[in-house]
Structure formats: C-alpha cells, structure tokens
Chains A and B, each alone.
Chain A
C-alpha cells in the first residue's frame, strides 16, 4: 500500500546504509554472533510452524487456546530478542542534536555498554561483565513485557475495533487477538527502543527505516488487515469467524515482514507518504 521509493528531500545516503546523521534511531541489526544470525532466521519459521500446529485447536476454542498460547508466544519472542537484537540503550543515539527532548530512553539502563557511534555493531560483553550484560538485557525485557501488556494490547484492541472488530460481542477474542499482535510486534520494538519518543512517533507514523524488528511489526499490522479478506466468503467454515483469519494474517505478516525487511534491497528504507506535500510547499515558497 505504501511506497518504498526515496523522497527527494531525504539524503540518498540513507537509502541503503545505516544513516549517520539521521535525527532518529537507526535501523536495528541482528547481533553478529553466529547463534543470533542462525536463530533470527529460524525464529519466524518456528513461530509459523507452532502457529500452524495449534490452528485446529484455535478454531475449536479460540479464547481458551489463544489464552494458553499467549505465555509461550511471549517467552519465544523474549528469547528471540534477548538472543538476537541489541537491548534498548545499547545504541548510541546522541547524534541528533536538534531533538534532545525526545531522548529519554538512554538513562533507563545505565549499566549497558555504549559502543559509541550509531550503526556500529555492539561488542560482546567481556566475561567479567556477563552478569551486567544479562541485567542490561533483562531490564528491557521486563519493560517490554509490562508495556506490551498495559499499553500495546489496549491500543491494538482499540485499533482492531476501529478497523471493524465487533464491539458488543467477541470482546475476549478481540483482546486476545490484540495481545498476540502486541507480543508479535510491540514486544521487540520496546526491547530494542525502550521508550524513545521519537522512535514511537515514527512507529505511529509508519516512518521507521526497515529492519527485522520494524519489518515484523509492520508485517503484523498489514497481515492482520489483509487477514480480513476471507471473512465474507460464503464457505461457512468455522475458521472464518472473527479473530482467526486476522491472527493468521498477522503471524504470516510478521514472518514475512521480519525476513523481507532484512534483505539488503529493503533494509533501511522508509515508507514514503508525502512527496506531494513537499511539492506544494515548494509552490508556496515560490
């Protein structure tokens, strides 16, 4: 639905490589360790396989099964982010001098190592600092669980209703669907970016540069939107009821999004909405 082409005003250097002078947080790389690289590809596939294996049970009893699966999904996601992506605060974001007011996330984990320039890969913590490193990861993980439960889930549930989910019935299904989507999308975003206001502004405006975490989140949303397509068909299958196709779309979208956005062709690019506003602006200044 949106283009990935470049805007005339954005420096072309931002297109294919991590930006150096971008005002907001750069795209996130998968950690360099061998295990992280391998598991980052296994993870989406694993999620899809598990989701497929539970599909029948979800169709039979959506509320119970979604509720049962939720902690396992959260554990898997946390495992993935702790293993594969840098936690919040580990990335230097000081390069943006013009919007300091948004940088509130950094002090959250003071013990986290700061490798310096943004875009550089985080160095492995030395053996002495293993515990400190683990702590630096557990804090964002805890934050991630809290925020996902108390903010992302209600927000996504409200969005689901705005997009047409039933309001007077199926409330448990809506909340659980939102919770699954939140764990898929928001948990890793929180883990990586903490409460960085500028990042979340970009997230809300679908303006993040593509990376595995953001790609998964965007894919979850888009997939859920496309997941509504089979519902009106007159096949009268039990899986056509409300949350199932939406969630299936979200899972597939998550897997596809997190894999596609990591490819060199897409990585670091942004969805462009407003070339014509700029044109109009030019007109006015003329």
Chain B
C-alpha cells in the first residue's frame, strides 16, 4: 500500500508533527503558579470588619443571561420588585471565556481566572486534576471555620468539591432534553433545608434553563415559564429569610454561571454568553441609603445591565460579607456598592486594603522582578503606564495616601484612599487576568521550527507531484496558502466553514470543467471509458455540486450566520415525518450495501440484516429520550413509547457496536481467504458507515445517504490519484463543518459520547466524542481508499500520504504562527486558542491516528498479492 512505501520524508514528517504540537503546547498553555494552602486573617484584621451575614444561599441558574432577569420581557417579576424595593442589588457579572460551566464555577468559588486547559478538563469531566479539593475557595474557608455546607443541583459541584458537602443531591446534565426533572430534583429539597439551621451555606444549581437554551434558544416558548418557576423559588427563599429567625442574617445570591448566544449555545465570548446576571438579595440591603434601582429596564445592546463587575469579584465580596479571609488565589475586587453595609469609614478602608494586600501577594509571586518600591514610583502617572508598571504605580499612590492619612488621622481622606485602593485592585486584576506574560517563547519558536522542518521536508515531493499536474497543483497551493493566511484573521477562523464551502464549490466546478474540456478536446478521452458514458459524467459533476449545496445548508455553523434557518434545526423539527423517512431510507440503503458486501455465508448475511435494524432501533430509542419533539406526531412515536423504551440504551448501543466489530472481523477473515483487498475494504467501509451513523446526531443521519450518492458520483468520474486525494481532503473539512462543527468550543457535540458506555471512562468517551464530531472526515478518509485508482504504475505513483501530511503540517504551522504572533490579541483565548485545539485534534486524531495509522493498518491487514 501507498503508506508503507512512502518515502522517509513522509514518515519523518509524521513523527515531527506530534512532536511539534507537544513542544508548542507546553509553551502555549501556561502553567499558572497557584499559591498553596488556605488564607488566614492577619492579627490586625481579625475583628476589624465584622461579618454582615452568617449564612449564604448561593443559587446558580445555569445560563441565566442578564436580560432574563432585568429586561421588560423577564419572568422574574418578584425579583424585579425586590430590586425596586432595594432588597436586591443587581449587577451584570462579566464571565470571561471559556463560558462553560466548570471554569465559571472555578471563577466564582476561587476568584481566579481559570486557565484555558480547564476547557479540555471540562469535557473530560471526572478528571481529578481539575478538582478544587486542595484549592482555596470560599467554600473551603467556611469548611475550615467548621461550618456545614449543603448542595443540590448540577453534580459538577460534587466533582469539583469532593467531600465538601454534608448533604448533597447531584443531578447530571446527561440528557439535555429534560427541562423539568433536573429542576424539581433541586426544588424538592428546598423546604426541608430552609427549615434546618445547621448549615451556613446552601448551594443550588438549576440546569433546566440551560437545557431549554441548548434545545430551543433564548426565545423558546418554555423560557418564560421557566423564568417564572425560578422567580417563585426566589420568592420562597426570600419569604423564609424574612420570617424564619434562624435565617435572619442570611445572604441570598442569585446568579448565572454564564449566558447564552442567540442560538442558545455558550462557550464563546459574544455579549450574550459573557453577561450573566448577579444579584445580592437580603432584607438588610433595604436599610442602605443608596438610590433604588429601577426595574425592569430596557435591554442595552451589549446586555450590560446596571453595574458590570467581574465574576471573580463574587469571591472577594462573599468573603468580606461573611467575614472570611479572601481565598489566596482570588483576583476578585470587593464590589464597592456593598461597602455601605459597614458603617464606619475605617472599616471600609480595612476591607479594601486587606483586599489590596491579598492581590499584591499574587502580583509579587507572579512578577518576582517587580519591587513595588514606593520611591521608584513616587511621581508616576498610572494613566500613561500599563502592565505591571501601572500596578506598581497605583500601589505606591495608595500607600502614599494611606501614610498621609495615618499622620493626620482625619476621615476626610477616606473617599480618596478608597478610590486609590480600588484603582490598584482593578489594575492588578486586569494584569493578572491576562496571561500574556506567561508564554514560554523559546518553546513556541521551537514548536514552530519543528513544524517548519516537517513542512519543508515534504516540499520536494509535493513540488514534483504538482509539476506533473499543474492545474491541480496550482489549485492546491492556492488552497493551502489561502487557508494559512486566513488563520490570522479572527473572523475567518470563526467562519472557517465558509472557506471550505467556497473552496469545495470551486473544486467541484473545476472537476466539472475538467471533465467538460477533457471530453470536448480530447475526444479519445471520453471514448476510452465505455463503462461510464460521457453524459453521466456531466450529470455526476453537476449532481456533486448540487449535493454539496444541500450539505452546506444542513447545519448553520460559525458565529455570524449561526442563527439562520437550516435543515437540521429548523426544517426537520417542523417536518419530523420527512426526517424519519430519510433516516429509514438511509438505514435501508446501508443494510442493502452491507448485505451485498458480506461474504455469501448464511450467518454473515443474517448479521448484515440484523445490525442495521438494531442500529435504527437504537437511534429511535435515543431520539425518544434525547429529543422527543422530533418524534411527536409521527407513527414511530408509538413504537418508541412501547416495548422499545423499556430496553436499556447502553445495551442496545453495545449490541450494535458488537455486531459491527463482527463485520470488521469478517472483513479481515475474508481478506485472508480470498485475497481480494477491494471487497474487504468495501465491507470494512460499510461497517464503518453504520458505526458513524450510530455516532451522529439523528438529524445528521440522512447526510450519509448524500455521502453515498456523492461517493457513487465521484467513482464514476475516474479521478486520478492526486484528484482523489484533493477531493477527499476538501470533503473531509467541508463535511466536518456541514455536520455542525466549528472552531468554537461550544460546538463540540457530546450527545453521542456516552453510547454504550456504562460507567465513565476517559478513553472510551474521548474516542466516541472524536468519532461523533469527526464522522464526516472519517467517512471520507475511508472512501478515499475505495476511490483511489486501482492500478497506478510505478513511475507515476501518487503518494496521498505526502499530500495529506503536507496540508496538515502547513495548516498547523500557520495556526501556530498566528497564535504566536497574536498572543497578545484580545481574542487569543476565545478564537485562536480554540482553533489551535481543533488543529491539534485534526492533526493528531484525524490525520495521524485515523488517516496515516488507519491506512497502515488496512495495508497490514490485507497484504496485496
């Protein structure tokens, strides 16, 4: 096979690519030094600022975007009445990207800004490295004080804080279609816990609103009733705080962990995703003589209602209000609006200066070279400085004011000192939140160099190949160069699918032109293929273009046009019968092909009949659990509701996978017997076809029918070796996006990641997640083996591995270069780093593991005659 006969350059390049990724990643994802241990009070602080509250009820409503509470369309009418009465202080808590639950919970509890790696750990949820058991949080501080904590809701809390809670009932967010049970499971505990007096922190985490968003977006008809349900809970708790004596000094915090965009997803950095609501609620706030906020108010464009604070500020503020030391790694700044809870000016000052000193410790440990020497910065102007210099400058100014105040003992200077301390704290927070200083440049450059070597190793071979087929070569060079330069523009990274759709339509038109001009001018060319008439080729290329056009409308993805109507999210829910007819057709088609490719032995034929049927029933049952709205009013709903629903999904998936494994074994056995590589390859491809269908969302299953027709049309075109490689390469990327993929973390599809998995296993879930997100590319890699012309003579042998590796290495090189050059860019953690993560998956999993190693595996399994 071609892969085994590849030159040393290809082999070496494929070793260098993972190596380069490792080196670059170690320099790019910085290790943040964490201060170990728990914070304690200094002696002078001990009783300087008395605690205002002794209990806290921390109610997180997942994806509670600011306008859900504050706007005119909100269902939170009781909460809004509290805002008007002054009992609730409203804020917008800016959630920095990645806006997914686990990093956000880390930010709200530790006060730190979670590193980007937490996103990956959020997917590999049970990883213990992401646990906060040994980090300083306000929960740990309460626990250290000997208090009790209870938790109800999202079990992410239980994973983050093992052994922290005395009573807990976690709910998983496994089936996103569940809008009510997840929340009832929390609410049913509330009356009991409100009656108890033994806890000092009750945490509730409601998931239903987030599920509604994922399913139907922020304008869903379920949204208002869910908001009213949440509002009723706020009412209950507030009434209990007013009337129960043991709750009289209880702080009630209502907040969202992140928001959602207009499509109902989150993970990125749009205004909707980064603007959750935050409210501090207590009857005690009514006594503050601050002006009452109006509510409801009109929605601002950027969704920033009232005052905007950082999410990490919650930690510092809670610590201050509950009389706890501020957790060591907190970058939070005490929210100034709540300072008025303390009467005396010196108490406020104490609190702020404690906050400032705690931040100073972090800054000093991160920047050991900074002296914080008051003399050096005695005459500086912080407006002209940036970075650590600004921090040092603001610190020296605050110190100067403090010492002056010590001398004069007057209280008139308090407001000025408060401002100076807050300014220092904010500057520190900003500098410490941006991790630009932590890149290991030498490793970044080393990684870039390794990839540059890998790319240039392949250049002679690629040049040789391209010089033989100039027009294809020029197209591919244009594609690689265009893709590489695109990686430097954030909007093209977000809208990468547009590039591939664009290139794909151009390439298919090129194939059409080629068949046209080839046949019109070299009439012997059209005559040479008696089996595929010229007319059919014309139709085939036009059919390809048309099917590609349908495919690009299947799932709208990216950022800019993501909310526009498409087939999977808009047409199918409105026409479920069409969906299920297509799904059944797809399964019948795959069964027919599997049957045809099976060796003609009775048991094998039987397997070929049973597996597609099992696969379909599994998908049906899965849809009945996961997205019942797709089954409503269809004849199949009775089937799913009946005996089928009683079967375990895990068992069904295992049966399907087992059957497919049998097919794979049969392919190997029959290859050894009959020595027919092509037939076994085809059988293997059919088994893979069914496996990928099982791992795809139900709305994407009919795409495989399109793939089948595209494959048939392509094989009728009699493409040359390099054209097959180029076509499958372009279609790999194109179909990845057509399945709904994008370069945003929020588009990772986890719905099929647990098929057949009983208990959590990182390896299984990882592989299944990859397969379900890269189903299109994997299918086309496999199809490429079938499309490749059967007899390529030795002197013109086309090395597809070289071209694939060249493309992967070149695109990785440009992504790394973009990440290095733009490392101080505003979007580095929201656009470029996710792109780098995706490129890693493309290179390591899709290219090296599936394409190269898979190709070698196929070559070894059935050696040629």
Please list the residues of chain A having a beta carbon within 8 angstroms of any beta carbon in chain B. Answer: 1-3, 5, 9, 161-164, 167-168, 198, 201-202, 204-207, 225, 228-229, 231-235, 271-281, 283-284
Contact = CB atoms under 8 A, between A and B. Distances in A.
A164 B514 contact: no
A1 B506 contact: yes
A234 B490 contact: yes
A273 B471 contact: yes
Contacts of B501: 164
Contacts of A204: 516
Contacts of B558: 232
Given A164-B502, A273-B518, A278-B522, A232 B492 contact: yes
A260 B470 CA distance: 21
A273 B513 contact: yes
Nearest to B475: A1
B560 A232 contact: yes
Most buried by B among A233, A277, A281: A277
A162 B548 CA distance: 8
B578 interface: no
B560 A3 contact: no
Contacts of A283: 793, 796
Interface in B498-519: 498, 501-502, 505-506, 509-510, 513-514, 516-518
A12 to B, nearest CB: 16
A5 to B, nearest CB: 6
B45 to A, nearest CB: 48
B498 to A, nearest CB: 5
B478 interface: yes
Closest 6 A-B residue pairs measured CB to CB?
A205-B516, A205-B517, A232-B495, A234-B491, A207-B517, A273-B514
A9 B469 CA distance: 15
A2 B474 contact: yes
Given A1-B510, A164-B502, A205-B513, A272 B470 contact: yes
20 contacts: A162-B505, A162-B549, A163-B505, A205-B513, A206-B517, A207-B520, A229-B502, A231-B498, A232-B492, A232-B558, A234-B490, A272-B470, A273-B471, A273-B517, A274-B517, A274-B518, A275-B468, A276-B469, A283-B796, A284-B528
A281 B519 CA distance: 13
Contacts of B528: 281, 284
Contacts of B720: 276-277, 280
B559 interface: yes
B789 to A, nearest CB: 9
Given A228-B502, A280-B720, A272 B491 contact: no
Interface string B536-553: 000000000110010011
A232 B498 CA distance: 7
B788 to A, nearest CB: 14
B686 interface: no
A162 B545 contact: yes
Contact of B516 (A163, A167, A201): A201
A164 B471 contact: no
A164 B552 contact: yes
B521 interface: yes
Contact of A279 (B472, B546, B549, B796): B796
Nearest to B795: A283
B471 A233 contact: no
Nearest to B514: A273
Given A168-B565, A234-B491, A283-B796, A207 B470 contact: no
B494 interface: yes
Contact of A281 (B505, B509, B521, B525): B525
A276 B468 contact: yes
A225 B545 CA distance: 15
Contact of B525 (A161, A167, A233, A274): A274
A234 B270 CA distance: 12
A98 to B, nearest CB: 9
B518 A277 contact: yes
Given A198-B520, A205-B516, A206-B513, 20 more contacts: A1-B506, A1-B510, A164-B501, A205-B517, A206-B516, A225-B506, A229-B502, A233-B489, A234-B560, A235-B491, A271-B471, A273-B510, A274-B518, A274-B522, A275-B468, A275-B470, A277-B518, A278-B522, A278-B525, A283-B793
Interface centre among B472, B505, B513, B559 (most CB of A within 10 A): B513
Q: How large is the interface on B (under 10, 10 to 19, 20 to 34, 35 or more residues)?
A: 35 or more
B469 A281 contact: no
Contacts of B494: 232, 234
A154 to B, nearest CB: 15
B521 A272 contact: no
A196 to B, nearest CB: 13
Interface in B167-212: none
A2 B525 CA distance: 20
Interface-centre pick from A202, A205, A281 (highest chain B CB count, 10 A): A205
Given A281-B524, A281-B525, A283-B796, A161 B470 contact: no
A168 B564 CA distance: 11
B521 A207 contact: yes
A187 B492 CA distance: 36
Contact of B559 (A228, A234, A280): A234
A279 B518 CA distance: 13
A229 B506 CA distance: 13
Given A272-B470, A273-B514, A202 B520 contact: yes
B471 A272 contact: yes
Contacts of B516: 201, 204-207
B319 to A, nearest CB: 39
A286 to B, nearest CB: 9
B608 to A, nearest CB: 36
Contacts of B474: 1-3
A273 B473 CA distance: 11
B313 to A, nearest CB: 29
Nearest to B510: A1
Nearest to A207: B517
B3 to A, nearest CB: 22
Nearest to A203: B516
A271 B549 CA distance: 26
A3 B471 contact: yes
Contacts of B470: 3, 5, 272, 275
Contacts of B505: 162-164
Nearest to B472: A276
B555 to A, nearest CB: 15
A206 B471 CA distance: 13
A233 B524 contact: no
Contact of B478 (A1, A228, A275, A278): A1
Contacts of A272: 470-471
Nearest to B524: A281
A229 B528 CA distance: 39
Interface in B348-391: none
Contacts of A233: 489, 491-492
B731 to A, nearest CB: 16
Contacts of A225: 502, 506
Given A1-B474, A231-B498, A9 B491 contact: no
Contacts of B560: 232, 234
> B471, B514, B545: which has the most chain A beta carbons within 10 Å?
B471
Contacts of A278: 522, 525
A278 B559 CA distance: 45
Contacts of A284: 528
B393 to A, nearest CB: 35
B87 to A, nearest CB: 40
Contacts of B525: 274, 277-278, 281
B466 to A, nearest CB: 11
B549 to A, nearest CB: 5
Contacts of A229: 502
Contacts of A201: 516, 520
A162 B552 CA distance: 10
Contacts of B498: 228, 231-232
Interface string B739-763: 0000000000000000000000000
